[in-house]
């Protein structure tokens, strides 16, 4: 089964708005792949074409060394990701904006639910 379908069939209906918006995120991905060419997009959004390979460079570094990633704390992971995103295209940045929003939404809801059922905080 497609994950989007699985997700919507498994959600608690009343909380639907609080799950990550998988379908919405996929639309943002479409915009990334929908760019005529990455190079064109880079040009349009005035990102330096020649720094682009550095994304590949950085990410490849972590690609082969996933144990390294496992040792990062969340601040470090975020910093590195931030550095990479300096070279990202507009649609890519939009995707991560959206992803951050979805991430904060879910974390907030989860944390507040824990408080509500009296598990933490209260």
Q: Which residues sit at the interface with other proteins, rule CB under 8 A?
A: 3, 7-20, 22, 25-26, 29, 32-33, 38, 55-56, 59-60, 62-63, 66, 69-70, 72-74, 77-78, 80-81, 84, 88, 92, 95-96, 99, 103, 106-107, 109-111, 113-114, 116-122
The dihedral through the CA atoms of 35, 55, 77, 7 has a sign that is positive
Work out the angle at residue 75's Cα, subtended by the Cα atoms of residues 20 and 109, and round it to the nearest 5 degrees.
30
Work out the angle at residue 89's Cα, subtended by the Cα atoms of residues 86 and 93, and round it to the nearest 5 degrees.
70
Which residue number, 8 or 45, has a Cβ lying nearer to other proteins?
8
Work out the angle at residue 7's Cα, subtended by the Cα atoms of residues 74 and 101, and round it to the nearest 5 degrees.
40
Which residue number, 7 or 45, has a Cβ lying nearer to other proteins?
7
At its nearest, how many Å lie between other proteins and the CB of residue 45?
14
């Amino acid at each position: 089964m497609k994950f989007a379908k699985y997700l919507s069939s498994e959600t608690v209906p009343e909380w639907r708005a609080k799950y990550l918006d998988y379908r919405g995120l996929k639309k943002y991905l479409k915009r990334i792949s929908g760019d005529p060419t990455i190079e064109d997009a880079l040009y349009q959004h005035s990102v330096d074409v020649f720094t682009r390979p550095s994304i590949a460079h950085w990410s490849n570094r972590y690609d082969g060394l996933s144990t390294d990633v496992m040792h990062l704390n969340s601040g470090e992971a975020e910093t590195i990701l931030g550095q990479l995103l300096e070279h990202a295209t507009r649609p890519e940045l939009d995707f991560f904006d959206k992803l951050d929003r979805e991430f904060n939404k879910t974390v907030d809801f989860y944390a507040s639910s824990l408080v509500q059922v009296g598990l933490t905080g209260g």
